[in-house]
């Protein structure tokens, strides 16, 4: 599937929407308007956008605590998303989940997850279900490099390999597992090397800040999954700008690490590419920015004006 | 009514539900070709094939995750954890994921899955193959916990569990697998959350679970010869609990003994004692007594395990103490 010019503009718009959405969440959180814990994926937008673009609406994703971006890229309404992050009754989970537990089965979003690697076994279950029902659906399962230390990661990849399930394991390798660099939790250079342990899983490492590369690799992985040839472990090297959580001063992080991350900005790179190839003009870029800003403002307004859940709502929804 | 064994009743329930609903599938360690380590899934692989009867690696976390993801997307999985003890390896998937998904995602998702696991001591299986860990799960909102004691209940409750839209912990008992009992021909179910009076009596209420139900019934027979009539109640479902059945019985008898095989301290019986204390205290003629296991791991060697296990004679002694009051 070759990307058309129109597709590229859509991809760029998605990436920029995620960036502006999360910048706004950061601002609101630090201003005391958003409760709880917030984990931002600023700098990682190309992975979410590039991987979700070739998915169909009925395909599934499972994602992580750093999961706003994938939800937006899979089609979440930023108003409802923002309302959930605010803990409002109008949010995707009626305020019962929050930033770490965004989910919408209607959009194929099986859930962000507060447990590192917790969503991986569930994603495998959804892939099993797709194969069982012969539905031709695939699953994109997102997780970070830190998650590849969890037992659930190995169990899940092994099971998915044995059953040859239609799943793409997308490792967003930002090289930081919470507060610790990759070198402290992995003795190999590439997460994709871990695919060798299983048999039917194809491992691939790509530049996760190049959205076209991400997209093209994902297209191949999806085709492989739909052909019934088995899972792919797609390692996308990317960059985390913010701390593990909002408010994390990142004292553990060398200054030059953050600076070099920012010099490899996925959005800037894609913008330069689009301008150099004459796919867009500077004016087009300004227009896209101009369209996103009021949408973000509208999402914030919706979230702020939405009602809080009634206290009695606490007791509902425990059982079907 | 034809007689069958407890493990066969489990097997029949699985088979019948798989015949009834193509969305039902079975997965777990050695459940397919080998037919399950206690033969509970025997014959299913031959009848339904590898798509619906799935041998998995020895990896409990992914077995439960498989069930969750499948249930979220339209199937009705029944997975087996080979021993109750091994469920420790799957606790994140059960406690943080399965139990909470419906709630934390705002109530929309349904999660129709059953996790079967054999529990209980008495086979010299040692400290890591003998535990009764039901109280861990009854402590978690979002899970239903079923622990049948009879052949009839095992089949009827497993069928209800498979048809239910919630994550269910279904705890079987290894010693009871060989128990014989009558089951009716054809389809029947037993509602989840409904206990049963297994024996009526006026002098004391004995609430017992799983294997202890049979010990309680034996104790009741012995006590009857001494003119003490015990009422034996099996909650069958531990969560949600049919608490009114227990409270009504205590109102009648004024005395309560609770018998369960797990460690007494912080066990399920403590919750029953607390509920009765809160809601029927003024009907009690004597302090509540619990008959359960000591606060030790389950030992391997025969005399040690026999010492460990709560017995019918322990129930008799406890009943005599409360009746004396």
Burial class (CB in 10 A: 0-12, 13-18, 19+), A231: buried
From chain B, the residues in CB contact with A113 under 8 A are 97
> How many Å apart are CA B230 and CA B237, to the nearest integer?
21
Residue A64: the pLDDT is 96
Q: How far is B240 from chain A (nearest CA, A)?
A: 10
From chain A, the residues in CB contact with B92 under 8 A are 115, 118, 152
Residue A291's pLDDT band, with cuts at 50, 70 and 90, is: very high
Whole-complex ipTM: 0.97
> How many angstroms from the chain centroid is the CA of residue A30?
22
Closest to A270 measured CA to CA, from A214, A212, A228:
A212
Query: B57: nearest CA in chain A?
Result: A159
Are residues A105 and B108, on separate chains, in Cβ contact within 8 Å?
Answer: yes
Closest to B58 measured CA to CA, from B96, B98, B90:
B90
> How many Å apart are CA B195 and CA B245, to the nearest integer?
7
pLDDT reading at B325 higher than 90: no
Span A241-267, mean pLDDT?
A: 94
Are residues B107 and A129, on separate chains, in Cβ contact within 8 Å?
Answer: no
pLDDT in tens, B179-225: 999 999 999 999 999 999 999 999 999 999 999 999 999 999 999 99
Nearest to A125 among B66, B105, B144 (CB): B66
Phi and psi at residue B194, to the nearest 5°: -120, 120
The domains found in chain A, sorted by start residue, are 5-291 (3.40.50.970)
Are residues A96 and B105, on separate chains, in Cβ contact within 8 Å?
Answer: yes
Sequence-separated (6 or more) residues with CB below 8 Å from residue B297: B127
Are residues A121 and B62, on separate chains, in Cβ contact within 8 Å?
Answer: yes
Are residues B93 and A152, on separate chains, in Cβ contact within 8 Å?
Answer: yes
Closest to A36 measured CA to CA, from A96, A92, A119:
A96
263-282 in A: which are within 8 Å (CB) of B? none
pLDDT reading at A297 higher than 90: yes
Residue A212's pLDDT band, with cuts at 50, 70 and 90, is: very high
Span A240-268, mean pLDDT?
A: 94
Residue A1: the pLDDT is 65
pLDDT reading at A101 higher than 80: yes
**Residue B323 CA: distances (Å) to CA of B13, B123, B226, B272:** 41, 33, 12, 19
Q: Are strands B76-80 and B24-28 parallel, antiparallel or unpaired?
A: parallel
The two domains B3-182 and B196-324 share their CATH topology (first three levels equal): yes
Residue B119: the pLDDT is 98
From chain A, the residues in CB contact with B72 under 8 A are 105, 110, 122, 125-126, 129
Burial class (CB in 10 A: 0-12, 13-18, 19+), A282: exposed
Closest to A65 measured CA to CA, from A124, A147, A139:
A147
Are residues B111 and A320, on separate chains, in Cβ contact within 8 Å?
Answer: yes
Span B161-174, mean pLDDT?
A: 98
Are residues B109 and A105, on separate chains, in Cβ contact within 8 Å?
Answer: yes
> How many Å apart are CA A248 and CA A257, to the nearest integer?
16
The helix (run of H) or strand (run of E) holding residue B56 is none
Class of CATH domain B196-324:
alpha beta
Neighbour tally for A260: CB within 10 Å: 11
Neighbour tally for B232: CB within 10 Å: 28
138-197 in B: which are within 8 Å (CB) of A? 141-142, 144, 164-166
Are residues B102 and A319, on separate chains, in Cβ contact within 8 Å?
Answer: yes
Nearest to B74 among A97, A114, A133 (CB): A133
Q: How far is A319 from chain B (nearest CA, A)?
A: 6
Is the minimum CB–CB distance between A91 and chain B shorter than 8 Å?
yes
Phi and psi at residue B44, to the nearest 5°: -70, -40
Is the minimum CB–CB distance between A18 and chain B shorter than 8 Å?
no
Closest to B254 measured CA to CA, from B222, B225, B226, B276:
B276
Phi and psi at residue B206, to the nearest 5°: -110, 115
Are residues B105 and A130, on separate chains, in Cβ contact within 8 Å?
Answer: no
Is the minimum CB–CB distance between A121 and chain B shorter than 8 Å?
yes
Burial class (CB in 10 A: 0-12, 13-18, 19+), B173: buried
Closest to B241 measured CA to CA, from B217, B209, B215:
B209
pLDDT in tens, B73-115: 999 999 999 999 999 999 999 999 999 999 999 999 999 999 9
Sequence-separated (6 or more) residues with CB below 8 Å from residue A286: none
Catalytic residue numbers of B, as ranges: 129
Mean of pLDDT over chain A = 97
From chain A, the residues in CB contact with B66 under 8 A are 121, 124-125, 128, 159
pLDDT reading at A174 higher than 80: yes
> How many Å apart are CA B144 and CA B130, to the nearest integer?
22
Q: Percentage of chain B with pLDDT > 70? A: 100
Span A221-238, mean pLDDT?
A: 98
On whether the CB atoms of residues B133 and B87 are closer than 8 A, the answer is: yes
On whether the CB atoms of residues B170 and B28 are closer than 8 A, the answer is: no
pLDDT in tens, B260-299: 999 999 999 999 999 999 999 999 999 999 999 999 999 9
**Residue B296 CA: distances (Å) to CA of A317, B138, B173, B318:** 38, 21, 20, 21
From chain A, the residues in CB contact with B164 under 8 A are 320
For residue B230, the cross-strand partners are B204
Residue A2: the pLDDT is 84
Cis before A115 (ω within 30) = no
From chain B, the residues in CB contact with A120 under 8 A are 65
Are residues A318 and B59, on separate chains, in Cβ contact within 8 Å?
Answer: no
Structural tokens at position A317: 């929804």
> How many Å apart are CA A294 and CA A17, to the nearest integer?
11
Helix (H, G, I), strand (E, B) or coil at A193: helix
From chain B, the residues in CB contact with A141 under 8 A are none
Structural tokens at position A178: 């919470």
pLDDT reading at B1 higher than 90: no
Q: How do the domains of chain B map onto residue ranges? A: 3-182, 196-324
Second-level CATH architecture of B3-182: 3-Layer(aba) Sandwich (3.40)
């Amino acid at each position: 599937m070759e990307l058309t010019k129109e597709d590229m503009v859509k991809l760029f718009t998605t990436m920029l929407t995620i960036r502006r959405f999360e910048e706004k969440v950061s601002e609101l959180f630090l201003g005391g308007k958003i409760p709880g814990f917030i984990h931002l994926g600023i700098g990682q937008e190309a992975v979410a956008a590039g991987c979700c673009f070739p998915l169909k609406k009925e395909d599934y994703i499972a994602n992580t605590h750093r999961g706003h971006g994938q939800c937006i890229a899979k089609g979440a309404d930023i108003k409802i998303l923002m309302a959930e992050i605010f803990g409002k009754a109008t949010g995707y989970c009626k305020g019962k989940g929050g930033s770490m537990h965004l989910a919408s089965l209607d959009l194929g979003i099986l859930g962000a997850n507060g447990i590192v690697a917790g969503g991986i076994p569930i994603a495998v279950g959804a892939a099993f279900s797709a194969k069982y029902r012969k539905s031709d659906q695939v699953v994109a399962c997102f997780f970070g490099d830190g998650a590849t230390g969890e037992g659930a990661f190995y169990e899940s990849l092994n099971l998915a390999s044995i059953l040859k399930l239609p799943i793409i394991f997308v490792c967003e390798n930002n090289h930081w597992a919470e507060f610790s660099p990759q070198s402290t939790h992995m003795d190999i250079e590439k997460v994709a090397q871990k695919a060798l342990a299983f048999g039917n899983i194809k491992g691939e490492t790509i530049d996760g800040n190049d959205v076209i590369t991400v997209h093209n690799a994902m297209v191949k992985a999806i085709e492989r999954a739909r052909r019934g040839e088995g899972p792919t472990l797609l390692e996308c090297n990317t960059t985390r700008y913010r701390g593990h959580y909002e408010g994390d001063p990142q004292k553990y992080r060398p200054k030059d690490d953050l600076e070099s991350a920012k010099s490899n900005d996925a959005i800037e790179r894609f913008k330069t590419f689009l301008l150099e190839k004459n796919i867009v003009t500077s004016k087009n870029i300004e227009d896209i920015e101009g369209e996103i800003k009021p949408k973000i403002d509208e999402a914030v307004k919706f979230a702020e004006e939405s009602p809080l859940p009634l206290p009695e709502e606490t007791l509902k929804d425990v059982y079907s | 009514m034809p007689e069958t064994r407890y493990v066969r009743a489990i097997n029949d329930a699985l088979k019948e539900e798989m015949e009834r609903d193509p969305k039902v599938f079975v997965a777990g360690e050695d459940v397919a070709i080998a037919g399950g380590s206690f033969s509970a899934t025997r014959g299913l692989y031959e009848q339904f094939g590898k798509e619906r009867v799935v041998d998995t690696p020895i990896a409990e976390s992914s077995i439960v995750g498989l069930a969750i993801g499948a249930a979220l997307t339209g199937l009705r999985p029944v997975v087996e954890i080979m021993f109750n003890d091994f469920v420790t390896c799957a606790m994140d998937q059960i406690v943080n994921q399965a139990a909470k998904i419906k709630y934390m995602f705002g109530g929309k998702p349904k999660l129709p899955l059953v996790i079967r696991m054999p529990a209980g001591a008495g086979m010299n299986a040692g400290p890591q193959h003998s535990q009764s860990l039901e109280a861990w799960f009854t402590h978690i909102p979002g899970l239903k916990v079923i622990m049948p004691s009879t052949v009839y209940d095992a089949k009827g409750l497993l069928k209800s569990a498979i048809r239910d839209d919630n994550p269910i912990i279904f705890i079987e008992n290894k010693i009871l697998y060989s128990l014989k009992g009558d089951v009716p021909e054809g389809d029947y179910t037993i509602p989840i959350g409904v206990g049963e009076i297994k024996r009526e009596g006026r002098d004391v209420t004995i609430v017992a679970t799983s294997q202890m139900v049979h010990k309680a019934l034996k104790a009741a027979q012995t006590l009857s010869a001494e003119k003490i009539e015990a009422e034996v109640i099996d909650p069958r479902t531990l969560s949600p609990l049919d608490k009114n059945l227990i409270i009504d019985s205590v109102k009648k008898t004024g005395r309560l003994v609770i018998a369960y095989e797990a460690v007494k301290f912080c066990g399920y019986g403590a919750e029953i004692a607390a509920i009765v204390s809160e809601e029927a205290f003024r009907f009690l003629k004597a302090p509540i007594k619990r008959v359960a296991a000591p606060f030790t791991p389950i030992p391997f060697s025969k005399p040690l395990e026999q010492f460990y296990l709560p017995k019918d004679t322990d129930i008799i002694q406890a009943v005599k103490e409360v009746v004396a009051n």
